[in-house]
Amino acid sequence: MATRSLLRTRGKLAVAATALLTGGAAATVATSEDPATALKLCTAVPVRLYRDTVTAASIAFDYEYSLWGLMEGSVERAKVKHEVHLRSARKLQELCFKNGGIYIKLGQHLGQLEYLVPEEYVQTMRESMLNKCPVSSYDQVCEVFKKELGETPDKIFEEFDPVPIASASLAQVHVARTHDGQKVAVKVQHTHMTDTATADRATVEVIVNTLHSVFPSFDYRWLIDEIRESLPKELDFLVEAKNSEKCLENFRKLSPHIAGYVYAPKVHWNLSTSKLLTMEFMDGAHVNDVKTIQKLGIQPNEVATLVSQAFAEMMFRHGFVHCDPHAANLIVRPLPSGKRTILGKRKPQLVLLDHGLYKELDFTTRFNYAALWKALIFSDANGIKENSVRLGAGEDLYALFAAILTMKPWNRIIDPSVDHLVIKGDDMERSERQMYASQFFPQISELLRRLPRVILLMLKTNDCLRSVNSCLLQGSSLETFFIIGKVSSEAVIEAKKLQRKSLLSRLDVLLEEILLEVRLLGMQIALWLLHLRRALTG
């Protein structure tokens, strides 16, 4: 009886959702001014919506049926729920691969949301979404070349490998050699992206709006606005090329002390268009490939330190931030100058790839975000609340905002211990995070609705960097938080110097700067003592 009831519920859900979603898609398509685009949407949207609906209904039924009658908190329920999580994650994975494009990007993002979704989803998406993306055929690649540059790759380049070395959600990369002998990487946009991007945007919009109308607490309409704004920029490779050059220019001008340690491939502008990007070829190891990094004579902790410093500079000083720093977009190589550490190890250089998704933080947002991280590092409860409220979290959810940023409960966030934010990366911590994610899901959804979209992208960046640190260090390190504390604090002081005009106010800032140096020195000494203790205890 129960099974039949659940099957009827599933059937009604599928039929109702399909009708509603298809109707919404039709409304979206009807507004299109381009008849050809409208026709393509009419064929692509229903297919995608059907897949979405079937997958959603299948997952919902699996949870309802599998957990039926199992006591909350029991060992058996926990075991079954784990199995359902795995099955459901694989269904979502399959959906992302079938639909491609934006769905793969959403799957990649899902793989970073440890504070929101079960561990099984996080692991499944992380393992597959970065290196198993669909590949365009060589004929399709030639089609793009003819349209963009008027010739096939074999005419434009001296050599061109038809087999891509990497494929991502929006494009794939081929190795080539120019007629003057330079080895290059050629990024070619998937031929279907122009059409499916519009269809994907329409389906995601309809799905999110439908879910919100059925479940008001599920309000992810901000995702629609973000896709609508960021996707056209990511699909224009000339924007990406300009972003890469602006990023390096910011390091040269605003962070000259580490400019030599951060690099982006040079662009061959004469061989680049909005759908083709030809860049200098980069050799090195992906940032999560610890074994290869060590074979290059580089220490993983040096890489973690460099990654943290580079992105802290971008967030707190430049206000121009690479918002997609997952492992596939970060390469490590030995510093070309050959400089070595005190221990004789080679110094790393961080190579940033895929500059399609950047966000600019205005002065006020950058100042408040830096001040918030300063308060987090130094366990300043009042500063955390004040700056979280300024950024939009509200007086009721500021503690949750701090917890999402640090992946720590409030009592640890305000703990004065120097290592209070260090993530161990063990099973107990992961279990605790999952418990909080489940317990506070409605509040997390509300917080994500409130925060400005630029801060949501900072959260995504933060999630990616945490994942990178986890690979390099099996958690996080005190050095990472020392760097974040130092750069954010210095950025706050620099901002205050620009704002204060009177002699008295400048003296206040000078005193604050002196006190900051004392606190940072204390933190540095604590860091040295911690290293010494570890060395002595083996």
For the stretch 151-194, pLDDT in tens is: 999 999 999 999 999 888 889 999 999 999 999 999 999 987 76
* Residue 69 pLDDT exceeds 70: yes
Res 167: pLDDT: 86
Res 131: pLDDT: 62
* Arithmetic mean of pLDDT, 221-226: 77
Which is nearest to 188 in space by CA: 151, 140, 229? 140
pLDDT band with cut points at 50, 70 and 90 for residue 29: very low
* Residue 526 pLDDT exceeds 80: no
Judged by DSSP in three states, 145 sits in helix
Tokens of residue 197, six digits:
């991007």
Res 342: pLDDT: 72
Following CA atoms 512, 513, 514, 518 in sequence, which dihedral angle do they give, to the nearest 10 degrees?
Answer: 100
* Residue 36 pLDDT exceeds 70: no
Res 6: pLDDT: 38
* Arithmetic mean of pLDDT, 211-234: 76
pLDDT band with cut points at 50, 70 and 90 for residue 27: very low
For the stretch 425-442, pLDDT in tens is: 666 766 776 677 667 877
The string of DSSP codes covering 54-100 is HHHHHHHHHHHHHTTTPPTT-HHHHHHHHHHHHHHHHHHHHHHHHH-
* Arithmetic mean of pLDDT, 225-235: 84
pLDDT band with cut points at 50, 70 and 90 for residue 28: very low
Res 501: pLDDT: 64
Q: How far apart are CA 456 and CA 440, in angstroms?
A: 18
* Arithmetic mean of pLDDT, 101-115: 76
Res 337: pLDDT: 84
* Arithmetic mean of pLDDT, 259-284: 97
Identify residue 474 by its one-letter amino acid code: Q
* Residue 81 pLDDT exceeds 80: yes
Non-local (6+) Cβ contacts of 504 within 8 A are: none
What share of the chain has pLDDT > 90, as a percent? 40
Q: How far apart are CA 172 and CA 164, in angstroms?
A: 6
What share of the chain has pLDDT > 70, as a percent? 83
* Residue 122 pLDDT exceeds 60: yes
Q: 497 or 305, which is more confident?
A: 305
pLDDT band with cut points at 50, 70 and 90 for residue 519: confident
For the stretch 452-477, pLDDT in tens is: 989 988 988 988 888 888 888 765 67
Tally Cβ neighbours within 10 Å of residue 7: 12
Which is nearest to 245 in space by CA: 275, 224, 268, 220? 268
* Residue 499 pLDDT exceeds 80: no
* Residue 98 pLDDT exceeds 80: yes
Tokens of residue 200, six digits:
């994907």
Phi/psi for 414 (5° steps) reads: -95, 10
Q: 42 or 348, which is more confident?
A: 348
Q: Give the range among 69-78, 231-240, 244-253, 492-501 with minimum mean pLDDT.
A: 492-501
* Arithmetic mean of pLDDT, 79-97: 89
Identify residue 460 by its one-letter amino acid code: K
Q: 50 or 66, which is more confident?
A: 66
For the stretch 285-294, pLDDT in tens is: 999 999 999 9
Q: 510 or 255, which is more confident?
A: 255
For the stretch 359-391, pLDDT in tens is: 999 999 999 999 999 999 999 999 999 999 999
Non-local (6+) Cβ contacts of 377 within 8 A are: 421, 481, 484, 485, 488, 489
Catalytic residue among 324, 354, 380, 463: 324
Q: How far apart are CA 27 and CA 31, in angstroms?
A: 7
HSE of 276 in the Cβ direction (CA atoms, 13 Å)? 26
> Does the annotation mark 324 as catalytic?
yes
